[in-house]
Structure 1
Amino acid sequence: MILGSCNGLLCLRYFGGKIVLWNMSIREYHWLPDTQMEFPGGFGSCEFANYGFGYDSVNEDYKVVRLVQFLNKKEKEFKVYSLKDDVWRRSQDFPYYLCYKYAWGVLVNGALHWAVTQTLESEEKFVLAFGISMEVYGMVPLPEFSDRCFHLTVHVLGGCLCLLCHYFGVRVDVWVMRQYEVKESWG
């Protein structure tokens, strides 16, 4: 399964959880070391693991992030892998809840993006950006939607952040942010 691509590198996850970075052009690859899930209280079950992959231009490093949401839904684990150091480390707590299990982080402007909610019960969706270099979270300003009842997915189109709003069998709106982090540039 492809978790992401950047600068000609593919980040792939094989069945069984092994992750590899693969440079197809020079036919080289690097297996990431295994990392255990740190279950709350020492035991539990994983609901799902979500990933993102990108290049840290400040530190000249490639990074893979893994977000695990546990079945109790309140506990989460956020780890960052550094290719330069070849280690996984636990990062700051992930303060939101992913909307979709299989929507990998989308790399735009040096940040990975996901559709999130602030609470499990919340219907209101946001786009969260995780800056790969500084490893900080931020919210992306969203366009003015005509209706809030839709399925939101995050993509990249022509190097720009893109949102698809699926209005349950009625229509799909496509929004493209032409100037990153400028709300007025959505069109």
Structure 2
Amino acid sequence: MNTSVYSTIINLQGVHNNVVPFMEFGGKLGSLKDSNDLQIHDIFYCEGLILCTMVGNKMIVVCNPSNGETRYVEPRTCFMTSDLYALGYKGSKSSCINNYKILRYCRYYNSQLMRTVSEFELYEFMSDSWRVIDVDNHDWDISARGVSVKGNTYWVAKRDDDQFFQFILSFDFTRERFGLLPLPYESDGPDGIMTDKHEDTAVLSVVRDEQLSVLHQYLHRYSFEMKIWVSNKIDTKEVSLGSSW
């Protein structure tokens, strides 16, 4: 099975002129040696660096495609397939990989406690070590990879006790703190129609490496309305989103 990583270009420029959109494959990531032992499971991008998790959860690989620098990171205990990872840095942007950190979010059922528990670990390239971080009073869950903006990571999250309630969850790699930010829409769908978690879709993406965008769609039999917002201001404590379109 081919698990190589390529850069891609998706061209939608002519979609309003009846031009069929297309996708091009660019250069292949050459920092990772071709090996049956390095089958890629998932990737996370942060301003030029790529974090790859591997099938079998043996290790994490972080590489810089521009200069070929590659780091292999072993787990503190063990990795799980359901783990979520984020890559970020403290302070201002730096080309030095030693200023970067990896956040690991692990959620699993503890048979001894007879409940679901969450664990958070942080890896620092500078010290080449993992450490556990304490997160107080978290009552939320994230199930999809986040996006990186200015060195911090953002996800769409839901509350454990109310799956209808969505919000933006942020992690500040400098302060090593989570934050909750509001989404630019209400839980109700168009014309006050209530949606459920299977019909309500929100996706985050990044514009020009410095703006956060939110795509939201109501998947309901009465409407397939889709809206997109792009941030005017963004940090882990506040987000200002422009008008939807």
The bucket for the TM-score relative to the shorter chain is: 0.7 to 0.9
Q: Could you say which residue in structure 1 is the equivalent of 2:86?
A: 52
Q: Could you say which residue in structure 2 is the equivalent of 1:154?
A: 204
- Structure 2: gaps of 5 or more residues: 1-40
After TM superposition, give the deviation of residue 57 of structure 1 in Å: 2.2
Q: Could you say which residue in structure 2 is the equivalent of 1:173?
A: 227
- Structure 1: gaps of 5 or more residues: 39-45
Listed one character per residue, the Cα deviations across residues 9-52 of structure 1 (whole Å, up to 9, x for unaligned) are: 211111122101112222221101222259xxxxxxx6821111
Q: Is the 8 A contact 2:205 2:212 kept in 1?
A: yes
Q: Is the 8 A contact 1:47 1:69 kept in 2?
A: no
Q: Could you say which residue in structure 1 is the equivalent of 2:11?
A: none
Higher relative contact order (CA 8 A, sep 6+): 1
State how many pairs are aligned: 178
After TM superposition, give the deviation of residue 99 of structure 1 in Å: 4.2
Pairwise mapping of residues 1-187 of structure 1 onto structure 2 (< 5 A)? Answer: 1-17=41-57, 18-37=59-78, 48-57=82-91, 61-71=99-109, 74-93=116-135, 95-100=138-143, 103-145=144-186, 147=189, 149=195, 150-158=200-208, 159-168=210-219, 170-180=224-234, 181-183=238-240, 185=242, 187=244
Q: Is the 8 A contact 2:229 2:242 kept in 1?
A: no
Identity of aligned pairs, percent?
Answer: 25
Question: C-alpha root-mean-square deviation of aligned residues, in Å?
Answer: 2.6
* Separation in structure 2 between the aligned mates of residue 186 and residue 2 of structure 1, nearest angstrom: 33
* Separation in structure 2 between the aligned mates of residue 182 and residue 14 of structure 1, nearest angstrom: 33
SS in structure 2 at match of 1:122: strand
The structure with the largest alpha-carbon Rg is: 2
Question: Which stretches of structure 1, 4 residues or longer, exceed 6 Å deviation after superposition?
Answer: none
SS in structure 2 at match of 1:27: coil
TM-score when scaled to structure 1?
A: 0.81
User: What code does the residue aligned with 1:49 have?
Assistant: D
Q: Is the 8 A contact 1:162 1:176 kept in 2?
A: yes
